[in-house]
Amino acid sequence: MSLRAAIAALQETLSAKRRELEALRRTNERLRARTVALALLSRALTEALGVRRAFGAEGGAVADEMQRVAELLQRAQAETAAASAAAYAAEAAAASRGDGSSSAGDDSSAATRAGSGSAGRPRRRELSRLPSGASASSGGDEGDSDARAAAAAAAATAAAPASAVAAAAGLPALRGQELLSQLPHLAEGVGLLHLDNVPPALAAEYRRMSAAEARDRWRALVHEALLLQTDAVEGAQHVASLAECAHRMYRWKNLLLLLNLPAFMPLSVNRYDYNGSLLAGTTDDAPMEHWQTALFERARLTRAQALLVVETHRLCEEHLSHLHAERTDLTRRMATAAGPANAGGGGGGVAGTSAAASAPAGAGAAALGTASNVAQQREPPPQQTGASCAPEQQQHQTAGAEAASPDAGVCAGAGAGVDAGADDALDIADLLEANSGAELATIVLTWIVLPAVFAPPQWARFISSCWPWPAHENACCRLLDEALDNAPHLFAPDGAVAAAAAAVAAAAAGGGVG
């Protein structure tokens, strides 16, 4: 081999190693964001239950459901931490090897799949290339593939030098703290729900509020945010005014979600003009450019925020997929327990309960929190992304909102826990009802956490720019996911959020912000 050929071969080897290391770093970045997203979900759950207890809105099953939620979150956090340690060890091992790094990407992918738990998260794919209606969490890598993924992750850890494994074990939490340090509004001790010091009288007012009153109040907040954005100069005073408006938006949304969900629902599936009149149409009417403008020109998220939004969305998708599989099994068992005599469903309450509970509760495309296309179908056959719910599905959601309160598993992954021996039709009907409640509760918690990732001024700019459409979670997360890989220039600098918060705080301390 000539010297020139040897140099070319060495350069190709180095390029391949750089590509493998970059793939590992991106995987580890996702795992780090997933770890933080799980922590945010846990914090939001604790805050949400505290708010409901404070205002006497907790149900009889709160203690059991909270325990179930806590266990599920702890399990997911442990799985993600283990996968993160394995992936970081694989990255360290690949960086220390002079050759043989071609397996590093596979090791990292295996660690990522192992970290997704029983939901079976697939390998990384661009959302825009998925078939219509397919979600990023709808994978066939369950069962044996999970075991293979876990084994591969363990092998990756075992293959790494002992020093690399020891160093990697503490990296997920450390790097998660680094990510949160860029986002002071998500720091430990800062409320995610923006419901500190809510007067009991205000909570009582929201519990009594009608859907029309909620709509009028929301329209006024959006109008205020839009007026604030007409200013040519965005100084500290302007940002502080937007933040104050956003705090009232958060309070409106979260009080309704936790205390009066039926009043929130109409705004989550419909769009209105500025006079409050209902417009015919859904989120599908909005072109993709509408969401691009709201995300990248108005909200101006950082890369860290985009990662948190996408990973929180994926967690929701994975656990909804699990709940839907559980519902399918329960429906089959209900049909078996009911027997031929009740096959027609016309003879009694059990069959009626089965039909209602086994219907797709939807709530799927649950948007970025304030106005969201709640009842998008997530179950087979594949839905069309962003499709709005039919009127009867909306009625099912609204009618079940009180029974399936956010306490009934207000978290990503609040499963109903199927009892294999519960073959009695009434017992299965109870499990179906709990399953639907867990699905709705999963969506509610996601509605709380996703908006919290936005800094308050960003949220005011984003959600007012979406008007009159409800924010479209699937479309927005697809855009963010693709930008993370292919268009990093669309994101604000990493320190932009912290710098803006510091400027507002400094202006307030100096008397510049009233």
Question: For residue 372, what are the β-bridge partners?
Answer: 471
Question: Could you give phi then psi for residue 212, rounded to 5 degrees?
Answer: -65, -40
Residue-wise pLDDT for 98-152, tens only, equals 444 444 444 444 444 444 443 333 333 332 332 233 333 333 344 444 444 444 4
User: Which one-letter DSSP state was computed for residue 427?
Assistant: H
| Least trusted range by pLDDT, from 71-85, 190-204, 228-242, 472-486 | 71-85
Q: Is the peptide bond before 468 cis (omega within 30 degrees of 0)?
A: yes
Residue-wise pLDDT for 417-465, tens only, equals 554 444 587 888 888 887 787 788 888 888 999 999 999 999 999 999 9
- The Cα angle at residue 459 between residues 458 and 464, in degrees rounded to 5: 110
- The tally of CA atoms less than 13 A away on the side-chain side of residue 86 is 29
The pLDDT-based confidence of 220 (bands split at 50, 70, 90) is: very high
Q: CA 160 to CA 156: how far, in whole Å? A: 6
Q: What was the pLDDT predicted at 245?
A: 94
Residue labelled with tokens 């997911």: 76
Average pLDDT over residues 235-261: 90
Q: Which residues contact 217 (CB under 8 A, 6 or more apart)?
A: 209, 252
Mark 67-80 as b/e (b = at least 16 C-beta within 10 Å).
ebbeebbeebbebb
Q: CA 315 to CA 467: how far, in whole Å? A: 27
Write down the pTM of the prediction. Answer: 0.68
Q: What is the signed CA dihedral for 75, 78, 81, 82, rounded to 10 degrees?
A: -110
E strand or H helix at 271, and its extent?
A: strand 271-272
- Find out whether 41 and 312 touch, Cβ atoms under 8 Å: yes
Average pLDDT over residues 281-302: 83
Average pLDDT over residues 287-311: 93
Q: CA 280 to CA 287: how far, in whole Å? A: 16
> In the predicted model, is pLDDT for residue 415 greater than 50?
no
- Which class for 108: exposed (0-12), middle (13-18), buried (19 or more C-beta within 10 A)? buried
Q: CA 52 to CA 407: how far, in whole Å? A: 8
Q: What was the pLDDT predicted at 101?
A: 41
Q: Which residues contact 253 (CB under 8 A, 6 or more apart)?
A: 264, 369, 370, 447, 451
Residue-wise pLDDT for 167-188, tens only, equals 433 444 555 677 788 899 999 8
- Find out whether 68 and 414 touch, Cβ atoms under 8 Å: yes
Residue 491: strand, helix, or coil: coil
The pLDDT-based confidence of 233 (bands split at 50, 70, 90) is: low
> In the predicted model, is pLDDT for residue 295 greater than 80?
yes
- The Cα angle at residue 433 between residues 431 and 436, in degrees rounded to 5: 110
DSSP conformation letters of 355-369: HHHHS----TT--SS
